[in-house]
Every structure is written in structure tokens, then in C-alpha cells.
Structure 1
């Protein structure tokens, strides 16, 4: 973690206020576990990409250590050690957590099998008796 702005009194106050207002991990909330306590505050737009050092609450995100590590390892702030692997797991709807994942959804087709599938299976078999 870089020293500035994280070693300033302004950041410490902003971090404390953000965790009071948004105490739960955004990563777990996306996975359907909305009540995991966060202890890390992250910039939505990294300072290295021109984001403000002291943004409003809409420019910050609350994470648990595991979700923050997973997010940071895939972001530009990871530098040379950036991971190209998709993030494992899915949300409560069955969609991958990684928005760039090639699967659209893990859920079954809501339409179901074609209506005449049973007739096709029986008529092609030798079930005449």
C-alpha cells in the first residue's frame, strides 16, 4: 500500500466514515452474501488512473480482505503481477463474478426442454412391447 494519501488524517477520517456508512463487503453482496463485514476501503477509480485521492462515498467501495485482493489482482493497479485469470464464483443469479468471463450465465435455460422431447425419445426407441 502506498503511503500517500493513506497515511494522512484526512484519509483515516474518510475511511472510518465510509465504513460506518457502508459496513458490508460489496464483493460478497454481489455473490448473494450481503452481510459480510468490510474492513477495507478502495478507490473505484485508482489514483494512478487519475481518480481523486479523497473522493466522495460514491467514489469508494467497501471490501473484505479477500474480495479486495481479488479485485486488485485483476486491476491496473496490480502492474506487472496482474492476474489474467477470471475471478472464480458466481452471484446469486448464477452469473459469473468476473464481468469479462465468457459464460453468460450458469443457470439452466428457463424455457426448458422442447415440448415434444418425450415423444421423440419414445418413438425412436423399441418400446412397442
Structure 2
């Protein structure tokens, strides 16, 4: 995480603000688990045109496992055929990922 923008004071402040606002992993919560977030993720990756320092609503708090899942399934591959960033469904059978075409 030594690359720009993550090595800047501005990112550290933004990251801290997001984790204060949303301390739990949003994906784990959708899966019915309570897991403390330790990573702040750009919903739209910088490599895909996302803003380096976006407003808080364009960021999400994730645990390391969910962040790794999103990075490998979506960010590095520039998306996937289904448009999913996360696997799985919630207790009602709805996909975990709100960008999924089947979501609500």
C-alpha cells in the first residue's frame, strides 16, 4: 500500500473518516456476520476511472477477506461477465452485491 494515493495524508484522513463512519465490513454484514473492517475500498477502482479521493459514499469499509475477493473478482479483471464483485446471497436470497443484475 505504498503507492499513490494510499501513501498520502489525505488518504489516511479519508480512510479514518470512513472507518469511523462505517466500522464494520459491509459485505460481511450482508452475509449476516459481524466483522470489524480494516480496509477502505474504492467502490469504483481508480484503475477503472474512480476518483483517488472520492466522497465517503463512494468508498466502502471491508475486512481483508472481502477486499481481496473484490480485488481478484472485479478490480484486476476490469469486471467480470456477471458484473459481480462479491459472491453469495443474503438470508432472503438476494445477491450480496448491489451491482448484481438480480439485485432487488
Q: CA 1:58–1:96 in structure 2 vs 1: closer, same or farther (change >3 Å)?
A: closer
SS at match of 2:5: coil
Task: Work out which of the two has the higher radius of gyration on C-alpha atoms and give 1 or 2.
Answer: 1
SS at match of 1:41: strand
Q: After superposition, what is the alpha-carbon deviation per residue over 1:94-119, rounded to whole angstroms, capped at 9, x for unaligned?
A: 23436368xx9xxxxxxxxxxxxxxx
Q: Distance in 2 between matches of 1:59 and 1:88?
A: 20
Q: What's 2:63 paired with?
A: 64
Structure 1 runs (4+) greater than 4 angstroms displaced:
none
SS at match of 1:27: helix
Structure 1 length as normaliser, TM-score? Answer: 0.64
Task: Determine which structure has greater relative contact order: mean sequence separation of CA pairs < 8 Å that are 6+ residues apart, divided by chain length.
Answer: 2
Q: What's 1:37 paired with?
A: 36
Q: What's 1:116 paired with?
A: none
CA RMSD, 1 decimal: 2.6
Unpaired runs of 5+ residues, structure 2, are none
SS at match of 1:28: helix
Contact 1:40/1:68, CA 8 A, preserved across alignment: yes
1:1-129 pair list within 5 angstroms:
1=1, 3-33=3-33, 35-75=34-74, 77-79=75-77, 88-97=87-96, 99=100
Q: What's 1:124 paired with?
A: none
Structure 2 length as normaliser, TM-score? Answer: 0.78
Aligned length: 99
Unpaired runs of 5+ residues, structure 1, are 105-129
